[in-house]
Structure 1
Amino acid sequence: MEKLTREVRILKIYAVSLTAVCILFFFFAFKHQNSHQRFEEIDVERINVIEKDGTLKMVISNKKRQHPGMVNNKEFKPREREAGLIFFNELGDECGGLVYGADKDGSGMVYSVDQKNTDQIMQLQYMEGGSDKKNRTYGLKLWDRPDDFPLEDIIKFEDSLKKLNDPAASKKAYGKLRKEGKLTTERFFAGKTGDGDVGLFLKDSNGRIRLKIYVDKNNQTHIDKLDENGQIVK
């Protein structure tokens, strides 16, 4: 009996000790998982920033792994996009981003702000084509976009035209949308044009330039008011 009692006591001590070790193990493991990690340097191809519930809010990625975009929590079909940052709102829509890239034919960097349920309405951009400085432009652009032609409808429209593979039909379809006021219209540019002019360039609701305030490449100042046909109004 004494031997049995001693063995039972040993088993109790063992069980208590093992339980304590397990508790400490899980405690330190949980603490380690929730502690802040600090790195001097990391190499990564993509980072997804999410909320606690898993909602995607931002993607930082290289070109190969870049997010294709999203609307109404639905990802677009895979497509080529440049490296950079893509932002997403609480509705599950892409709402802007910063992308950049370059090759032998040109380079550029664009920061975009998207209108709700559709594409960009504001961009801070730099674009350059090849070695020709006449193709270099940079500045701030603003667009108007209709509320009744959301991004999902734009994508369906463009996909249907691609399937047709008919340039004439595509031109007619785009013309119809323009008459209905469903196409994007550039309204404002402040920056430097490919012609070397630096200033403000304002367009009407039909995309026709109506006012230019600028300094040209010869350092001459201009304030030009234009009519609907592009002729300067004296």
Structure 2
Amino acid sequence: MRHSERFLVVYSGVLTVALAVVLLTGARDTRTATFDEIDVQRINLREPDGTLRMVVAGRDRFPGGIVKGREYPFERGVAGMIFYNDEGTETGGLVFRGKVGEDGRPVTSGHLSFDPYHRDQALGLSMQQVRGGYESGLTVNDVGDTPIEELLQAMERIRALPEAERAAAQQAFADNAQPLVPRLFVGRTRDGIAALQLRDGSGKTRLQFRVEEDGAARIDFLDADGNVQRTLGADGSEAGGG
């Protein structure tokens, strides 16, 4: 091989390697970008195989219920983010909304929750403001045995019914499904009391530790109808229920 031909072979080889380096480096660099500000209506976070793991969205682009990648549309009326497990099923989220209602008073809520596998909210941290008052606190729930997919499918079937039949169908499903039952609440109640409430399997408060705004503290024992049966004051005094 002549010297000029050998030079061309080496030269083309160097160019090929250089081009490959540029292309590979450029491809890698395009995966990372820095922005000072982004305006977006929705962001979907996915694994490399396409599994959805988180959605951040405004109200109009907010997802319905998603189980193993299938979405069951329904209107939530909130913005925020939803979390999904390794199978692409909803497992909690952070949502919020707020505006002035038709009566001229604010209606505001914020809610962070976490779900067991294929169930609804087992743990929630929330604030709700309606009718001039607000309540905020931590709630622990019994979630029952009804899979969340069954609840979403029932909602889908009921929405497809004629309007005259929906109320009866909703009641029939509610009678058979196991509802979400709050078992513990700790926070501020709507009437301004700092409280720890322990509830029975029906969601009825049976034991309540409370501190009034003026500092008065007491322990209430309640029956299944919500009537106080016994009260212990901070000074050890005891009073019967009314």
TM-score range, shorter chain: 0.7 to 0.9
Q: 1:8-27 counterparts in 2 under 5 A?
A: 19-20=16-17, 22-27=19-24
Counterpart for residue 70 of structure 2: 74
Counterpart for residue 58 of structure 1: 54
Counterpart of 1:143 (choices 141, 154, 157) is: 141
- SS of corresponding position for 2:59: coil
Counterpart for residue 221 of structure 2: 225
Amino acid at match of 2:143: R
Counterpart for residue 40 of structure 2: 44
- CA pair 103-155 structure 1, distance change in 2 beyond 3 A: same
- CA pair 232-24 structure 1, distance change in 2 beyond 3 A: closer
Counterpart for residue 209 of structure 2: 213
The structure richer in strand per residue is: 2
- CA pair 164-153 structure 1, distance change in 2 beyond 3 A: farther
Q: In the alignment, is residue 29 of structure 1 matched against residue 26 of structure 2?
A: yes
Contact 1:73/1:93, CA 8 A, preserved across alignment? yes
Tell me how far 1:102 sits from its aligned partner: 1.1
Tell me how far 1:70 sits from its aligned partner: 0.9
Contact 2:128/2:136, CA 8 A, preserved across alignment? yes
For residues 217 and 67 of structure 1, what CA distance do their matches in structure 2 show?
A: 41
Tell me how far 1:225 sits from its aligned partner: 0.6
Q: 1:30-179 counterparts in 2 under 5 A?
A: 30-34=27-31, 36-77=32-73, 79-105=75-101, 106-129=107-130, 132=132, 134=133, 136-147=134-145, 149-162=146-159, 163=161, 165=163, 166=165, 169-170=168-169, 172-173=171-172, 176-177=175-176
Contact 1:195/1:217, CA 8 A, preserved across alignment? no
- SS of corresponding position for 1:47: strand
Q: What is the count of residue pairs matched by the alignment?
A: 222
Contact 2:72/2:153, CA 8 A, preserved across alignment? no
Contact 2:208/2:219, CA 8 A, preserved across alignment? yes
For residues 72 and 27 of structure 1, what CA distance do their matches in structure 2 show?
A: 35
For residues 171 and 89 of structure 1, what CA distance do their matches in structure 2 show?
A: 28
TM, length-normalised to structure 2 = 0.78
For residues 175 and 55 of structure 1, what CA distance do their matches in structure 2 show?
A: 32
TM, length-normalised to structure 1 = 0.80
Tell me how far 1:31 sits from its aligned partner: 3.1
For residues 86 and 217 of structure 1, what CA distance do their matches in structure 2 show?
A: 36
Greater displacement, 15-24 / 59-68: 15-24
- CA pair 74-171 structure 1, distance change in 2 beyond 3 A: closer
User: What is the root-mean-square deviation in Å for CA atoms of aligned residues?
Assistant: 2.8
- SS of corresponding position for 2:88: coil
- CA pair 174-185 structure 1, distance change in 2 beyond 3 A: farther
Amino acid at match of 1:185: V
Structure 2 gaps, min length 5: 102-106, 231-242
For residues 4 and 39 of structure 2, what CA distance do their matches in structure 1 show?
A: 55
- SS of corresponding position for 1:196: coil
For residues 167 and 44 of structure 2, what CA distance do their matches in structure 1 show?
A: 42
